[in-house]
Amino acid sequence: MTAPVSIETVSKIFGAFTALDAVSLDIRAGEFIVLLGPSGCGKTTLLSILGGFLSPTSGRVTIGGQDMTYVVPSKRPTTTMFQDYALFPHMRLVDNVGFGLRMRGLARAERDEKALGFLDLVGLKASAGKRPHELSGGQRQRVALARALAVDPDVLLLDEPLGALDLKLRRQMQDELKAIQKRVGTTFVHVTHDQEEAMAIADRIVVMNQGRIEDFGPPSQIYMRPRSLFSAGFMGEVNFVSGRVAAADASSAKVETALGSLALPADNFTASAPKAGDRITLTIRPEHFRADDRAEGPTVTLGEARVAGSAFFGTHYRCHLQPCATDTRALVAHLPQSASVREGEIVPLAVRAADVVALPATGHA
Amino acid sequence: MLRRIFANVLSWTYLVLVYAFIFLPVAVLVLFSFQDGRLPVPPFNGFSPQWYEAVFVDRKLMAALGNSLIVALVSSVISVLLGFLAAYALARYKLPGSALQRGLLIAPMTVSYLIIALGLLSLMNALHIPLSLMTVGIGHVVINLPLCFAIIYASMGDHHINIERAARDLGASDFKVMALVTAPMLMPSILAAFFLSVTFSWDEFIIAFLLSRFDVTLPVEIWSMLRSGLNPKTNAIGSLVFLASVAVLLILELSLFGRTKKS
Amino acid sequence: MADAGTLRSATALEDADRRKAWGFVAPALLWTLAFFVVPFAFMAAMSLWKREGRDLVRIWNFDNYVRFFSENALFQGLVNSLEITVIVTVISVLLAYPLAWIIAERVPKRLQRLALILAILPFWTSYVVRSYSWLLVLSKNGVINQMFMSIGLISEPLELASTRTATVIGFVHFFVMLLTLTIYSNLIQLSPNYRRAAADLGANAFQTFWHVVLPLTLPGIMTGAFLTFVLCIGDYVTPQILGGNNELVLPQIIMLQLGRRADFPMAAALSIVLMLAVTFAYVACARWLKIERA
């Protein structure tokens, strides 16, 4: 089964600390949602409120159209997959997975059959008689998933389930998680602080910071068209260039920066439409710098820069480029493997206008 | 090199001497329980099982043994149950004055059994409650409850909280969480608390002495046998208790604790 | 009405939780109150009454305490108790520490558990019988006297039983076992890296022990010593069987009040004195004693 989730201006205050600040979010049935953010951003608090382990200080939570704000965990159509898996150490895997069914009064034969089915789903049917301590981390994670799914929840809540796994296993489990979610169709709400993981599995990502939602959308949109500086910075490496809107009309804007002036489409102002005189910050992903001017699409140039250092990263060269025009911070660029860059060389700073996102400036930048 | 050998010789000599000290009275006790004669002291006259026979036909001694078993088992079950519930409440919920409650629950540990016995005796007298095995059992719960509480409370790690949450999340009621998840997870410490309680109650003298009247426990019965001075029959019952305890200990060591150590 | 599943608000949820928690903790608290706190309070109150002839005088007075401090026979009981307890505690620690250390350091790892089980095996004799078995060893025609006489070391049997020495031996025997166990578990928990670090920085074996191992195991030693003190000073059985009636300790005197004279108020007052002695010992070692949740 599956159900939509609606979070309406939910706040959670612990003493003097505001963990969630009037958060609203609508999740469609069957969606794979990832709550992404640094530790302390409120993502785990939000998940706990969805699971019923915490009650919000104010606001409302509905699941499948029903008010769940103060319903205890056992009466919710949600199950939680805990970060430490929380498998029952004294039970066999089949009993772990069948526990929820047992609580629902299913007879042993029936629940064993269902439990075996779910163990099969995660590829552990052959280990049904083992106990959790005999399993590897990845296997435990799968059992936890099977146990949470066995009671057929409308919404599955996953609290950093891959956090304890090493990188290689983590990438593998991401794919499996995604595949299983597609198969069962349950709404998944998954918490993580790893943006690569978020992009690998999410239908839509919710970027959170300091108890608020910074950005919400499909991975490509969050990455290419971030709606906040925090979101841009958290999703991957990015260069910030501060500037000012010199002139703006309905379709484009002229921006002045220390590196020169450039014209940008109005669409690139993702947070709010450009107005002349606005102080803004341009965000440019390192891979959007072009090594040469022959790149496809219209490019804008930010003058020239000296290569201050470069390192080969396999998929690209990571270069520090010191703009010639000013002595501001060096920019980071990812240049293709084919580019031959030497330290001290002068290169043009060219980007496609469509790749540059302009956001309202804040204190730092 | 020489210093090392010297240190080793010294260590092993010390070990052997202290072990000899520890074992001396027990060895003497067991040896002279087989004494063919009326005095359990040297010279040893030869092996005879007569004193063991005397023990088994002694109705009072056998009744006391049964009483001891009943009191030990019942008082230990109550102690573990109350201790577990209290530990669960204090480890998992935020209750006002929880430090005070913990202090109160372990307070009897720091008070001599004699004083606990005397207090209960005065109260029972004042309330005209007749002394019986039940009053002994009440006293034994008083001394074992703090122990059970402390052992079980100490084993309730915070890493168990998520496991209990998971059970609740999957639809288990409070009672089912406790019975199916918490208690089985803590089984090693619950069993340790139980067996320690049984041991303490089984062996306890002063409370059983002051709070019993007609039905007495084994230590009290043995105490009254001591009035006849040195007697091989006392050796025999003492040896029996010792050997039985060691046998139980061995079984536990091999079966139970050997198995649970892994997980 | 809200059922268990749909509670109205956050506070209702917490109230229900708290009520449940009280329900869990209440039986243990009530038991402790009814059968420990109340009797104790009753006894403390009774220590302020007194026995006159066959009657109990229910008038608040300090006569029992005054008598305790003025009558030498009573006060000497406390002195004997304290002396014996301190001697026993010190000897037991001094004997048990090296034993625990040898088991932890010199005995091969796979034999340590066995060595430990052996070291506390006599613990499993009945408590009363353990004291009695020392009587077999120490009495006039007991093992030691017979052995010494047969090798001509002595011509007349020594008076070993019914002495303070016998009481001390009986106690030390019990507490060496207990302390070996507690000190061993402390030593074994100590990371070997502390000693490696000390040795690495140039400390010799003795310096390592004195400056590193001993301070780190001190809390364990003090816990064991405190336990020894509490159990020793409150014990009636061992001094009664092994010490006889020559030098009475406080618990023996308390039992005398109960038996011959049925003087409950005096017994209560003496118990309070005993309690205070333990409290002083607790305060003295409090900073090393901790009961914590893992």
Angle made by CA atoms B17, C133, C177, in degrees to the nearest 5: 45
List of E strands, A200-345: 204-209, 212-217, 239-248, 252-257, 260-265, 279-284, 289-290, 299-312, 316-323, 331-336
A323 burial (CB, 10 Å; 0-12 / 13-18 / 19+) is buried
Kindly tell me if the per-residue pLDDT of C1 is higher than 60. no
Angle made by CA atoms A307, A308, A309, in degrees to the nearest 5: 95
Helices and strands of chain C, counted as H and E runs: 14, 2
Q: What is the pLDDT of residues C53-82, one digit of tens each?
A: 777 777 788 888 888 889 888 899 999 999
Cα–Cα distance, B113 to B100 (Å, whole number): 22
What size, in residues, is chain C? 294
Q: Tens place of pLDDT for every residue, chain B, 263 residues? A: 777 888 889 889 999 999 999 999 999 988 888 887 777 777 777 788 888 888 888 899 999 999 999 999 999 999 999 999 999 999 888 888 889 999 999 999 888 899 999 999 999 988 999 999 999 999 999 999 999 999 999 888 777 888 998 998 898 888 899 999 999 999 989 998 998 899 899 989 999 999 998 899 999 999 998 887 788 888 899 999 888 888 888 887 777 655 444 43
Residues 6+ apart with CB under 8 A from B260: B187, B188
Residue C117 backbone dihedrals phi, psi, to 5 degrees: -60, -40
Q: Are A355 and A290 in contact (CB under 8 A)?
A: no
Tokens standing for residue A263: 């014209």
Question: Mean of the per-residue pLDDT values for chain C?
Answer: 84
CA distance A68 to chain C (A): 8
Q: What is the pLDDT of residues C22-49, one digit of tens each?
A: 999 999 999 999 999 999 999 999 888 8
**Smallest Cβ distance to A55: which of C5, C6, C10?**
C10
Q: What is the pLDDT of residue B256?
A: 61
Cα–Cα distance, A93 to A91 (Å, whole number): 6
Q: What is the mean pLDDT of the segment spanning C112-118?
A: 86
Kindly tell me if the per-residue pLDDT of C5 is higher than 60. no
By C-alpha distance, the chain A residue nearest C3 is A71
Q: What is the pLDDT of residue C119?
A: 86
Does the distance separating the beta carbons of A80 and B169 come in below 8 Å?
Answer: yes
- At C12, the pLDDT band (50, 70, 90 cuts) reads low
Cα–Cα distance, B104 to C28 (Å, whole number): 10
Tokens standing for residue A168: 């290689």
Kindly tell me if the per-residue pLDDT of A136 is higher than 50. yes
Kindly tell me if the per-residue pLDDT of C230 is higher than 60. yes
A36 burial (CB, 10 Å; 0-12 / 13-18 / 19+) is buried
Q: What is the pLDDT of residue A15?
A: 86
Which chain B positions have a beta carbon within 8 Å of C102's beta carbon? 11-12, 14-15
* Position B220 in a domain: yes
Domain A5-233 has CATH 3.40.140.10: no
**Smallest Cβ distance to C102: which of B15, B32, B122?**
B15
Domain that holds residue B49: 33-260
Q: What is the pLDDT of residues A171-214, one digit of tens each?
A: 888 999 999 999 999 999 999 999 999 999 999 999 999 999 99
CA dihedral for B135, B139, B142, B145, sign (positive or negative): negative
Tokens standing for residue C84: 């014996």
* Position B1 in a domain: no
Which chain B positions have a beta carbon within 8 Å of C99's beta carbon? 14-15, 18
Q: List, in sequence order, every residue forming a beta bridge with A25; answer none if it has no partner.
A: A7
Q: What is the pLDDT of residue A75?
A: 86
Kindly tell me if the per-residue pLDDT of A73 is higher than 90. no
Q: What is the pLDDT of residue B258?
A: 53
Helices and strands of chain B, counted as H and E runs: 14, 0
Domain A237-360, CATH number (from 1.10.10.10, 2.40.50.140, 2.60.40.10, 3.50.50.60): 2.40.50.140
Residue with tokens 């000390």: C198
CA distance B115 to chain C (A): 6
* H runs (alpha helix) in C234-263: 237-238, 250-259
Q: Tell me the domains of chain C and their CATH numbers.
A: 12-46 (no CATH), 74-288 (1.10.3720.10)
Q: What is the pLDDT of residues C254-263, one digit of tens each?
A: 999 888 777 8
What order of strands is seen across the sheet that includes strand A32-36? A78-81, A155-159, A187-192, A32-36, A204-209, A212-217
Q: What is the mean pLDDT of the segment spanning C159-182?
A: 90
Q: How many domains does chain B have?
A: 1
3-state SS class at A273 = coil
Kindly compute the dihedral angle of the four CA atoms of residues C151, C153, C156, C160, in this order, to the nearest 10 degrees: -100
CA distance B94 to chain A (A): 15
**Smallest Cβ distance to A103: which of B165, B171, B263?**
B171
ipTM topping 0.85: yes
Does the distance separating the beta carbons of A57 and C4 come in below 8 Å?
Answer: no
Residue with tokens 């599995």: A201
CA distance B242 to chain C (A): 4
**Smallest Cβ distance to A51: which of B163, B169, B263?**
B169
Tokens standing for residue C286: 């409090």
- At A66, the pLDDT band (50, 70, 90 cuts) reads very high
Domain boundaries, chain A: 5-233, 237-360
Does the distance separating the beta carbons of A100 and B165 come in below 8 Å?
Answer: no
- At C2, the pLDDT band (50, 70, 90 cuts) reads very low
CA dihedral for A282, A287, A290, A294, sign (positive or negative): negative
Does the distance separating the beta carbons of A79 and B169 come in below 8 Å?
Answer: yes
pTM, to two decimals: 0.80
Which chain B positions have a beta carbon within 8 Å of C32's beta carbon? 104-105, 107-108, 142, 145
Q: Does C283 touch chain B (CB under 8 A)?
A: no
Which chain C positions have a beta carbon within 8 Å of B219's beta carbon? 126-128
Does the distance separating the beta carbons of B262 and A103 come in below 8 Å?
Answer: no
Question: Mean of the per-residue pLDDT values for chain A?
Answer: 89
Residue pairs spanning B and C at CB distance below 8 A: 246
Q: Does A39 touch chain B (CB under 8 A)?
A: no
Kindly tell me if the per-residue pLDDT of C14 is higher than 50. yes
Which chain B positions have a beta carbon within 8 Å of C133's beta carbon? 25-26, 28-29, 235, 238
- Quote the radius of gyration of chain B (alpha carbons, Å): 23
- Best mutation target among B169, B176, B187 (most A Cβ atoms within 10 Å) is B169
3-state SS class at A213 = strand
Kind of pairing, strands A204-209 and A212-217?
antiparallel
Residue A258 DSSP code: T
Which chain A positions have a beta carbon within 8 Å of B163's beta carbon? 86-89
Tokens standing for residue A288: 């959007």
Higher per-residue confidence, C51 vs B166: B166
CA distances (Å), origin B260, targets A65, A95, B159, C37: 47, 19, 18, 37
- Give the relative orientation of helices C72-105 and C63-70 as an angle to the nearest 10 degrees: 80
Tokens standing for residue B208: 């059983």
Q: What is the pLDDT of residues A244-303, one digit of tens each?
A: 998 888 888 888 888 888 888 888 888 888 888 889 999 999 988 876 655 566 677 788
Does the distance separating the beta carbons of B185 and A89 come in below 8 Å?
Answer: yes
Which chain C positions have a beta carbon within 8 Å of B150's beta carbon? 291
Does the distance separating the beta carbons of A55 and C13 come in below 8 Å?
Answer: yes
* Position B65 in a domain: yes
CATH classification of the domain holding B148: 1.10.3720.10
By C-alpha distance, the chain B residue nearest A131 is B263
- Best mutation target among A74, A81, A108 (most B Cβ atoms within 10 Å) is A74
Distance of CA A273 to the CA centre of its chain: 26
